[in-house]
Amino acid sequence: MEKQMNLRQSILDALVDDSESIVQIKNYLKYYRVSHTDEALRETILELLNESVIKIKYPPNSSIIDIVNADSLIIRDYWFKLTEKGYEEWNNIQL
């Protein structure tokens, strides 16, 4: 049986080629049938931001506090990008 990436790994994989919005990340997770809830996705994104594994690409000058305070409609406008640390973690994913 083929192992599947967990939510954290899948978010990194979704971001490896380009910046993505949370909507595009959700579509990626749906396509690859990665089990998640909206709350788990938000918490994982906050964790990745806090660990400097990803950063906010758009809107410019946004911070993790903006994501914490954003409602489900506003968070759709944020775009995320891997940092060097994120690329390192992605390169070391082992299934």
The answer to whether 19 and 80 are in contact (CB under 8 A) is yes
Q: What is the pLDDT of residues 70-89, one digit of tens each?
A: 887 778 889 999 999 999 99
The answer to whether 72 and 46 are in contact (CB under 8 A) is no
What pTM was estimated for this model as a whole?
Answer: 0.92
The amino acid at residue 4 is Q
Q: How far apart are CA 94 and CA 68, in angstroms?
A: 30
Mind listing the domains of the chain with CATH numbers? 7-88 (1.10.10.10)
Q: How far apart are CA 43 and CA 52, in angstroms?
A: 14
pLDDT at 67 over 90: no
Q: What integer best gives the mean pLDDT of the chain? A: 92
